[in-house]
A and B are shown apart, each in its own frame.
Chain A
Amino acid sequence: MVQPATARRSTTAVRRRHLGEHQIAALVLVTPALLIIVGLRIVPLVLGAQYSLTGDGDRNGLFVGLANYRTLLDDPVFRTAVRNVGLLFLALPVAVAVPGLLATFLFLKVPGHRFYRSVYFFPVVLSPVIIGAIFNILLSFDGPLNQLLGKAGLAPVDWLGNSHVAILSVIGVHIWATFGMALVIFMAGFSTLDQSLLDAARCDGATLPQTVWHVVIPELSRTIQFVFVTTMIGMLTGMFGLVYVMTAGGPGGATYLPEFYIWVTQGQMNSPALASAASMVLFVLMLLVGLAQIRLIKRATKEV
């Protein structure tokens, strides 16, 4: 993507004259951004790791080793949050397969594919708060969805009030709201697909499923990998607004996710050190998910 090789091709005379000015100018251009990134992201990350090893309340600032992490392990609310992350992993294949399939259909030029793309992508730009509020109306116990179920002769479901159902409702709404993102990424991947491979497959008499399996999926493996990683990261870090508005972590803590736990522990519970420990757990989780992303970033920086 980034090809500064051409920049180096300049004539040596011009280069030499500008090298000193060049270096200074580059630092002037880069420094403000670096100050902000180091000061507001990297320093806090280091501080957070340090806080996670100190105590809360009257042990504020004292080194307590891994005590916070042990507290987390014993906290049933945190355990629920981690279990819910497990549910996110289970939902991940759905969250990737649905947009993948739709992108395939759109690639086959179903009539009106531009229209579909616009419609599917639309919820992506809405704030999770707005989406949460809308689904608060739709999923309330005396709300429209349960009325529909009633008309069909089915019993109402307490979508947001039943501790087993609520987390599934929130995850479902998140997938509903974000599949358009993955769809657009898939479509960008499809646009780089080598048309001649598809033509060859058709000449060989491959059926549609065969073509998808043997040509499309291998060719798009990088895109698929990218979508898996970004969708998972979106689930781990993008659901705060939904949880906050739809269930506020309830009923009985059933819809806690790590990010919500961190927020509540820092704010309401006033235990920043414990919240920092939870932050570190989330960060490690993200790093594990992000190993694939690190590979992608490496590829990007190699070209700089």
Chain B
Amino acid sequence: MRERGFGRWVVAIPMCLLALATIYPMVFTLNVAMKSRREYVLDRFSLADHLTAANIADAWNSSGLGRYTFNSVVVTAGSVALLLLLGSMAGYAFSQLTFRGRKWLFLVCLGALMIPFQVIMVPFFRVLGQIHLLDTHVGLILAYTGQFLPFTIFLMTSFYSRIPAEIVEAARVDGSTTLGVYRRIMLPLGRPALLSVGILNALFCWNDVLISLLVMQSEQHRTLMVGVTALRGQYSDNIPLFAGGVLVAALPVIAIYLFFQRQITDGVTAGSTKG
């Protein structure tokens, strides 16, 4: 069905306005980050005099964002690696192997999808303290892995179940073991799904603030998003510098979005329509 002529434009106008409302806050922030403090106080909306990354650089240098970025990179990379490994292993087993208890174990994994972190926050904090992993990178990596693993298993299972069993059988007739099939067939064939799921998980881990606030307590172990929340107090009288810091923290995500938009939307819709 295709709407033609006049009707098309009647809807095009609100869509255009909404697109503007979606993107303008970012553009505004970018513009503010280019201004001097005086410029911002005089006029909020005027275009910055010149293109400069001075505020962004200042914010980067004066606020410890480098340290926080390092922490975020370590924790995100570790979590995504672990999630993809465990998620693809379990996904392969649930989708391609018949074994006792499969249905029940899969139900346990999916059921855990319905337990949000807020609900288990207090005991989680205690358990992590008891095994001496509070305020460590490993602790936060484990926390993220626990948090996003059910979702990862769900997506990997549904992806692997689309791989024809004949391929697996052929490899097995050729003498490959079950684990050999995982390494030689499932991992290479799963690359597009692993990319999609990996990017989604990377965004989740990178963007999180609640779990990170709870697990990482010392200032030197802060992740980037927690660092951003501290900027507000630090630069309360210098909005352009604050905007610069916010942009620094947003840039990696913006870049990932521009490169991997397809994989991201594929990932979120795979989680929805397969249900």
Contact = CB atoms under 8 A, between A and B. Distances in A.
Interface of A: 1-4, 6-11, 14, 18, 21-23, 25-30, 32-34, 36-45, 47-48, 51, 102, 105-106, 108-111, 115-130, 133-138, 143-144, 147, 176, 180-181, 184-185, 187-189, 192, 198-199, 201-202, 208, 211, 223, 226, 230, 233, 236-237, 240-241, 244-245, 258-259, 262-263, 266-267, 272, 275-276, 279-280, 282-283, 286-287, 290, 293-294, 296-297, 299-301, 304
Given A110-B12, A147-B44, A23 B99 contact: yes
B244 to A, nearest CB: 11
A41 B97 CA distance: 25
A36 B143 CA distance: 9
15 contacts: A7-B168, A8-B98, A11-B169, A45-B115, A51-B122, A110-B3, A121-B264, A129-B207, A134-B26, A135-B25, A138-B28, A144-B28, A185-B269, A241-B210, A283-B116
Contacts of B90: 29-30, 33-34
Interface string B26-46: 101100100000000000110
Contacts of A296: 275
A100 B232 CA distance: 35
A25 B210 contact: no
Contacts of A105: 11, 15
A2 B87 contact: no
B80 interface: no
Given A1-B158, A128-B207, A185-B268, A32 B225 contact: no
B3 A108 contact: yes
Given A30-B105, A37-B146, A129-B209, 7 more contacts: A33-B87, A34-B108, A41-B112, A41-B120, A129-B249, A237-B116, A304-B95
A2 B232 contact: no
Contacts of B142: 36, 40
Nearest to B2: A109
B185 interface: no
B1 interface: yes
B20 to A, nearest CB: 9
Contact of A44 (B28, B97, B103, B127): B127
Contacts of B243: 137
B218 interface: no
A41 B253 contact: no
Interface in B138-190: 142-143, 145-147, 149-150, 153-154, 157-158, 161, 164-166, 168-169, 172-173, 177-179, 182
Contact of B89 (A32, A187, A188): A32
B97 A25 contact: yes
A184 B271 CA distance: 11
Contacts of A198: 1
Contacts of B117: 237
Given A10-B169, A42-B115, A241-B225, A22 B99 contact: yes
A281 to B, nearest CB: 10
B274 to A, nearest CB: 4
Nearest to A302: B103
